[in-house]
Amino acid sequence: MTAPHSTLRQRLEGLNLYLVGMMGSGKSTAGRHLAQQLGYRFLDADTSVEQVAGRPIPEIFATDGEAEFRRLEAAVLNQIASWHSLVVATGGGVVTQPQNWGQLHQGVVIWLDAPEALLLQRLSADPTPRPLMEAPDPAARLAELLEQRRPLYAQADLHIEQDGRPADQVAAQILEALPSVIKQRSAPPQHRLEVVNEAGERGRSIN
């Protein structure tokens, strides 16, 4: 069956789409819808790390620490970057390792930017263990991580501002904005971040 957005897929020429953003921003759910619409494969990078390590991420953190997890994450990302036509939901901290940006920018990097209150609401309702959120004050820890990571997420090619809408609508926002991102990739080298807010309105900021 032909994907609904087969023309856009042709324009992408096999470029991987990397979804970045905080845990709870909806990367996996929106990513599956996006892959289906494009006829791409979907990969969850954290799941791939667990498959390579043969154990869950909380266990990696508990026994070997965050540094070992980041090493595995970078190795998995390097492997993923050798493939094509993927939508990849990355881990929330993948942007903190400078070497990872070499792989990410081989494709199109899409930042799913959910407000702090929405992230906290989703994380509180999600039973998935989150090692970095195991703190006496999860809200304060989330605010700290956001402050550290927002400038890094801003290196993305596309910025999708969220308001809690369903994942299929988030995917639709991405699909609508992708043509302009593809066009920018062939423009003179001044990195431009395409911003799409919850109303679907677009603006641009220069990094």
d(C-alpha 114, C-alpha 45), whole Å: 20
Give per-residue pLDDT as tens, 7-63: 999 999 999 999 999 999 999 999 999 999 999 999 999 999 999 999 999 999 999
Q: Which residue has the higher pLDDT, 194 or 52?
A: 52
pLDDT of residue 205: 43
43 within 8 A of 91, measured Cβ to Cβ: no
**What are the counts of helices (DSSP H) followed by strands (DSSP E) for the chain?**
8, 7
* Tokens coding 187: 């423009």
Residue whose C-alpha is closest to residue 88's, from 45, 46, 40: 45
Domain 6-206 has CATH 3.40.50.300: yes
* Tokens coding 27: 């990367």
pLDDT of residue 173: 95
SS3 category, 189: coil
Give per-residue pLDDT as tens, 58-102: 999 999 999 999 999 999 999 999 999 999 999 999 999 999 999
Instruction: Tell me: pLDDT of 113 over 80.
Output: yes
Provide the whole-model pTM. Answer: 0.87
26 within 8 A of 112, measured Cβ to Cβ: yes
* Tokens coding 54: 């043969």
In sequence order, the 6+-apart residues with CB closer than 8 A to the CB of 71 are none
pLDDT of residue 206: 33
Q: What's the burial of 180, exposed, middle or buried (CB within 10 Å: 0-12/13-18/19+)?
A: middle
In sequence order, the 6+-apart residues with CB closer than 8 A to the CB of 149 are 22, 92, 93, 95, 96
